[in-house]
Chains A and B, each alone.
Chain A
Amino acid sequence: MSELERQLAEEKRRLEKTTAPKELEERLRTALEKIPKRQRKRIPKWVSVVAALLILFVVGYQYDAFAYYGKKLLGFEEIMPATLAQLNESDKGQSIDRKIMLTDGTELRLEGLMTDENQLVLYYTLSNPEGLGEDISLMKLTGLFTNSSSRFGTSSMNEEGTELKGMQTFEPVSPFAKKLTLEFHDSNIQDWFEITFPYDPKAAMQTELKKAIKKNVQVDQGSIRFDSITATPSQTTIKGKLKVDNFDRIPLGFDGVKLLVNGVPMDQISGSVSSAFNGDKFTIDFDALPEGLNSLALAVDRFVGYKHVDETIILTSREEMSADLEGEEVNIRKVEVTSEGLEIIVATDGNILLDNVAVQIDDHKVSLQTTLRQNYITDEKGKEYKERILLFDTNQLPDAFLVEGLHYEKEYNKIIKIPL
């Protein structure tokens, strides 16, 4: 080993004295917990090709997805959303009645399901006379041409803590699957389990409406493409593609996108985005369509926008002050130099992210180093603010606070009519 390499090795040993801060693990854990459960990749392409060929060749096979099959699931009234409860009342469920004993003596019973082209809803009961721990996590359903990730679920426990009734929705399953396998994780015993049950695709509920939309809406930093609408008895799903650079800069998501049925907005159930090679794909779920449909339209009321402001806020005092950035209020709550550097506490509306922030000290500019903490607080008038501490690498008090632009919740008010 040369002298230089020996010195490099020594330097390495010195650097290795730097260890990760204690809070790192907790921060990573929190970051992970915040992400929704992974949207699994869809069925691989060759499988869809094979499926398409099968459909072409198996002429004699009459796929009958339109038959109704009657069964009412009992005991789930409390956790059923209104639409599903109505479907259950009109006997649109199918019973499963399979059970599995987990190692800690808890019994999982799959009671029944409801399915259509938009989703599969599974109902289950956990029971243990000794008392139950945490609810299990239902991860996915697999079967022929089927690999459906879970979406969301709710459950409620009885007062004694011995029985839990739960409901979980999944991505739709293939009409070719005759058996489904549920994968789930029990955090109480830290273990994975599988249970397989028969499935009758003929009992799926009929799709009521399916239309291509194929319309683009331009927003400040990209465009939203609405591809299709599929309405089934359990919900209405809008699918499309998203190419918007600053989509995730504010937490708004698709909250400002509405489905207007006969001119009246429907309840939005959820919105999700999954990454794909050619841009992001999104799904927005709304409640099922009512009877007596006359008109259908999508309204992009509010969505993330961007405006260039290039604003200089002169910091005349260290007291609280507010500025108006082209109609958006920015409050500077505190300016102080701490052992960390210069800290400025800024509050804005929850859906505003300041872009390219800096401070002016004498004749030079110091860019933002990092944001330390961010809190959502509600003031006495009930208005919610986002407050954060901005840290700058300097120990001088600044003359001015500079903002180049704003990511914000913008009103677009665009309407796309869907011909019926």
Chain B
Amino acid sequence: MRVVRLVKKAKKGSKEALLQLITEQQDEYYRLALKYMGNSHDAMDAMEEMIVSLYRNIQQLEKNDAFYSWSKTILVNQCKQMLRKVNKVTLIDNWEAIESHSDSSAVQNPFEQTEQRMDIQDLLLRVNAQQREAIELKYFHDLDYETIAMMTQTSIGTVKSRVFNGLKKMREQARGGFDE
């Protein structure tokens, strides 16, 4: 497998192989960083920090084929660390403020806004920050429960129940807007 081969090369110290691994999924990484950081500058800063950290720690990666979920976990941790530095106090409320800010600035072209999209983003704002994070990571960033659990430093069961309860609340909030 190609990814495994590149990971092995990267473990031997090849910067080029590591860069190739990242650039092949650069849009996915970027969107993930953007979700947390809220703007392009900080998202790219977080990715720079991530690649430095990956290069220094890649030998600790045990399963070579888990490179992508491992590296994305590092990216998310990096983003949270940077946000903590900016805000020093990390209360859940601040997180919500940061995240809702990031959601709105992720919209690149305001003319693309549709009624329906506003609905779903609006609904997402009505569940709690942890539920929203889990739902977004799963549905918008295609990450599996195990990876989300690592990123949010909790158990797989908790992630599942956050997604389940969050979706449930969103359905309730839609108040019959969807046919269920």
- Kindly state the interface size class of chain A when it binds its partner: 35 or more
**Segment at the interface with B among A4-12, A113-121, A223-231:** A4-12
Query: When the two chains form their complex, are residues A370 and B19 in contact, meaning their CB atoms are under 8 A apart?
Result: no
Query: When the two chains form their complex, are residues B30 and A20 in contact, meaning their CB atoms are under 8 A apart?
Result: yes
> Which residues of B36-56 are within 8 A (CB) of A?
39-42, 44-45, 47-49, 51-52, 55-56
Residues of B within 8 A of A (CB-CB), count: 50
Question: Of B23, B42, B106, B178, which is within 8 A of A28 by CB?
Answer: B23
Query: When the two chains form their complex, are residues B178 and A18 in contact, meaning their CB atoms are under 8 A apart?
Result: no
- When A20-B27, A275-B56 are in contact, do A4 and B178 touch as well, CB less than 8 Å? yes
**Segment at the interface with A among B9-17, B64-72, B144-152, B153-161:** B9-17
Contact residues in A for B140 (Cβ distance below 8 Å): 8, 11-12, 15
> Which residues of A39-78 are within 8 A (CB) of B?
41
Contact residues in A for B44 (Cβ distance below 8 Å): 21, 23-24, 27
Contact residues in A for B139 (Cβ distance below 8 Å): 5, 8-9, 11-12
Measured in the bound complex, the distance between the Cα atoms of B23 and A23 in whole Å is: 12
CB distance from B98 to the nearest CB of A (A): 12
Contact residues in A for B31 (Cβ distance below 8 Å): 15-16, 18
- A32 contacts the other chain (CB 8 A): yes
Contact residues in B for A38 (Cβ distance below 8 Å): 13, 55-56
Query: When the two chains form their complex, are residues A4 and B170 in contact, meaning their CB atoms are under 8 A apart?
Result: yes
Contact residues in A for B13 (Cβ distance below 8 Å): 37-38, 139-140
- B90 contacts the other chain (CB 8 A): no
Measured in the bound complex, the distance between the Cα atoms of B13 and A183 in whole Å is: 11
> Which residues of B1-34 are within 8 A (CB) of A?
12-16, 18-19, 22-23, 26-27, 29-31, 34
Residue of A nearest to B114 (CB): A14
- B112 contacts the other chain (CB 8 A): yes
Question: Of B18, B51, B59, which is within 8 A of A41 by CB?
Answer: B59
CB distance from A242 to the nearest CB of B (A): 16
Query: When the two chains form their complex, are residues A18 and B108 in contact, meaning their CB atoms are under 8 A apart?
Result: yes
Question: Of A10, A15, A24, A368, which is within 8 A of B47 by CB?
Answer: A24
Please list 5 pairs of residues, one from A and one from B, whose beta carbons are closer than 8 Å in the complex, sorted by A's number.
A3-B180, A15-B140, A28-B48, A37-B13, A38-B55
Residues of chain B at the chain A interface (Cβ within 8 Å): 12-16, 18-19, 22-23, 26-27, 29-31, 34, 39-42, 44-45, 47-49, 51-52, 55-56, 59, 86, 88, 106, 108, 112, 116-117, 119-121, 135, 139-140, 142, 167, 170-171, 174, 178-180
Residues of chain A at the chain B interface (Cβ within 8 Å): 2-5, 7-12, 14-21, 23-25, 27-29, 31-33, 35, 37-38, 41, 139-140, 183, 185, 190, 192, 275, 356, 367-370, 372, 391, 393
